[in-house]
């Protein structure tokens, strides 16, 4: 969940590393550090706080260096725990977790090693020192064999000059190919200002970067980043999160472009798995956080549209359960980054027992895309804010198309497929209409900003959206929020409803509308305030609730793609009214690459 950047080449390394760290700060922002080598001279700087506060006063000469932005896992937030970590002239930046670091540390202490930090990372520097003879990459290779866990690492040392050694295991590492040198990074956003050509390391690989080239264990295909540099800037917006919410209608359009036929969808990433999918009798949808909410929505979509047995599970739970698995099962892993550690661990387990692994991912070249046998990209472009918004919309769009794909293999009629596809094409326009109403949503968020507890309710397709709305509010506002099915209120949660606990009810004109009205009336009978997300033209609901946000009418199965948008906006403006750090909420990081 931390950010790694390094440069070796003809240019000064310091400004390139600073630029990269600022782009990577969304991955981790507790502290940062920079190490620049200039012949035998070493410049090391570590600070607690934001890299965005870096003023560049400590610019140092040198064409070789590494940097790191940290999100604390092992060891508290303080200068001594910031990366790079050093021992005996070996400097290491690390993303991941060393599960056996305590045992390794005890053994090293017995050998006379003294540790300066509380982190697991520092043992890597000590292990490299133990193994070093005269070749850095050889020492790194031997040291990493002793580690249990995950890592993306970059190492430099004045003892073996003019190289950066990098390695990967379950934590992303890429090489940016520049005209004047090479960049190592944990994320494409850190290299996009300098190159669009990247090489992605696979698990277990080690690479050596030099000014005039790089060496890797096997030839790697150069990929092209399909982002523009300005896609990772806020532009006219105050926060990345608002920019990304405002892009949600475009995400639907981009995800569907070239994939919608008259009565079916064309998903090239599923073509090689087409025959196995025809024989599949059950699909698991696996995700974490927002990805799980998308997976849960996908469960409803696949049951209704495709007519296939589907179950959504949290990756952190299903990997430890004794669920039925086998070759007639498929699993769809939902992840923005494609590097989510729990997803990848679950993916590995399912592959071992013959389950067909597929992915819904945003990042090209991610570990998930390489480990799965097929899948569909969401085409969202870079998402920088920690709280995921547009990626969720992309996931919902792709899961809808996959449901149509599976349905046409089964009993979904041409007429019904045409109806869904025709309405999918209308959703970008309808989503934009919701965004046009952002000022009303902002006023509502400000009106309710003094409340500390919220309940979100929905039914059927909108139950996962209620969970998503609650998650966004608690993530960036730090207020308590829960999302539950409307029908579950009377089975316990209703005890918490009073005038101090507003309810946000997704009550659109669909098959469960009357049931949702009953749930709203249960809340009102307990003096609870209600904000409704309702369908345009529904005058009845205005007489029941306190406030209404209207969304355009659409097919019931597509409602989540519209009902999500006002909830994301509400969470954003609510946090804005409380002056929260919206793009970088406390204790969280964008890509959760540790378990």
User: Phi and psi of 165, rounded to 5°?
Assistant: -100, 130
Query: Which residue matches tokens 């006379």?
Result: 112
Q: Catalytic residue, from 2, 35, 346, 507: name it.
A: 2
> Among 257, 493, 491, 282, which residue's Cα sits nearest to residue 380?
257
475 token code pair: 């993530």
Residue 346 burial by Cβ neighbours in a 10 Å radius (0-12, 13-18, 19+): buried
Exactly one of 23, 46, 168, 590 is catalytic; which is it? 590
Task: Using alpha carbons, list the distances in angstroms from residue 265 to 254, 289, 308, 427, 492.
Answer: 14, 28, 17, 16, 42
Q: Could you tell me if 166 and 68 are in contact, meaning their C-beta atoms sit under 8 angstroms apart?
A: no
Reply yes or no on whether 146 is catalytic.
no
Q: Which residues of 334-345 are buried (b: 16+ CB within 10 A; e: fewer)?
A: bbbbbbbbbbbb
* Among the listed residues 459, 488, 455, 460, the one whose alpha carbon sits nearest the alpha carbon of residue 473: 455
Rounded Cα gap, residues 402 and 266, in angstroms? 9
Residue 566 corresponds to which tokens in the numbers above?
Answer: 């006002």
Q: Kindly report the backbone phi and psi dihedral angles of residue 207, in degrees, each rounded to the nearest multiple of 5, phi listed first.
A: -130, 150
Beta strand segments in 345-495, E: 356-361, 374-377, 453-458, 480-485
Question: Is-catalytic flag, 2?
Answer: yes
Determine how many CB atoms are found less than 10 A away from the CB of residue 509.
16
> What is the SS3 assignment for 582?
coil
d(CA 195, CA 179): 8
Residues noted as catalytic = 2, 590
């Amino acid at each position: 969940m931390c950010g790694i950047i390094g440069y070796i080449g003809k240019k000064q390394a310091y400004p390139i590393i600073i630029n990269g760290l600022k782009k990577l700060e969304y991955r981790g922002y507790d502290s940062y550090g920079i190490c620049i080598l200039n012949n035998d001279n070493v410049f090391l700087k570590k600070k607690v706080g934001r890299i965005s506060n870096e003023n560049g006063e400590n610019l140092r000469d040198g064409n070789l260096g590494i940097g790191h932005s940290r999100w604390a896992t092992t060891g508290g937030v303080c200068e001594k725990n910031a990366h790079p970590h050093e021992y005996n002239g070996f400097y290491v930046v690390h993303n991941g977790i060393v599960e056996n670091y305590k045992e390794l540390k005890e053994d090293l202490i017995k050998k006379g090693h003294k540790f300066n930090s509380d982190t697991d990372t520092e043992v890597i520097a000590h292990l490299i020192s133990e193994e070093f003879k005269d070749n850095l990459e050889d020492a790194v290779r031997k040291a990493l064999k002793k580690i249990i866990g995950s890592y993306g690492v970059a190492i430099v040392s004045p003892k073996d000059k003019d190289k950066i050694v990098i390695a990967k295991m379950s934590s992303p590492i890429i090489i940016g190919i520049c005209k004047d040198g090479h960049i190592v990074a944990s994320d494409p956003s850190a290299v996009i200002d300098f190159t669009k050509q990247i090489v992605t390391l696979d698990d277990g690989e080690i690479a050596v970067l030099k000014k005039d080239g790089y060496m890797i264990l096997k030839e790697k295909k150069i990929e092209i980043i399909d982002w523009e540099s300005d896609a990772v800037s806020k532009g006219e917006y105050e926060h990345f999160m608002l920019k990304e919410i405002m892009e949600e209608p475009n995400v639907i359009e981009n995800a569907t472009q070239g994939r919608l036929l008259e009565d079916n969808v064309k998903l090239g990433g599923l073509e090689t798995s087409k025959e196995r999918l025809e024989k599949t009798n059950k699909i698991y949808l696996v995700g974490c956080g927002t990805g799980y909410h998308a997976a849960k929505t996908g469960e409803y979509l696949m049951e209704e549209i495709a007519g296939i047995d589907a179950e959504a599970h949290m990756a952190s739970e299903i990997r430890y359960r004794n669920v039925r698995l086998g070759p007639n099962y498929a699993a769809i892993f939902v992840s923005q980054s494609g590097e989510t550690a729990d997803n990848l661990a679950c993916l590995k387990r399912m592959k071992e027992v013959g389950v067909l692994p597929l992915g819904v991912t945003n990042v090209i070249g991610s570990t998930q895309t390489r480990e799965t046998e097929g899948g569909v990209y969401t085409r969202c472009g870079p998402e920088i804010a920690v709280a995921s918004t547009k990626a969720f919309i992309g996931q919902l769009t792709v899961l809808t198309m996959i449901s149509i794909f599976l349905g046409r293999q089964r009993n979904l009629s041409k007429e019904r497929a045409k109806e869904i596809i025709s309405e999918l094409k209308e959703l970008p326009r309808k989503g934009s209409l919701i965004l046009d109403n952002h000022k009303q949503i902002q006023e509502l968020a400000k009106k309710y900003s003094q409340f500390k507890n919220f309940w979100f309710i929905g039914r059927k397709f909108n139950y996962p959206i209620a969970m998503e709305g609650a998650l966004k509010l608690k993530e960036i506002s730090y207020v308590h929020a829960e999302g539950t099915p409307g029908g579950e209120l009377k089975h316990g949660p209703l005890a918490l409803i009073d005038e101090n606990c507003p309810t946000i009810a997704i009550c659109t004109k669909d098959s469960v509308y009357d049931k949702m009205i009953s749930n709203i009336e249960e809340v009102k009978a307990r003096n609870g305030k209600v904000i409704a997300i309702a369908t345009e033209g529904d005058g009845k609901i205005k007489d029941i609730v306190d406030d209404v946000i209207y969304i355009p009418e659409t097919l019931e199965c597509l409602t989540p793609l519209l009902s999500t948008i006002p909830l994301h906006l509400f969470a954003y403006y609510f946090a804005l009214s409380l002056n929260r750090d919206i793009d970088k909420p406390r204790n969280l990081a964008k890509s959760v690459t540790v378990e």
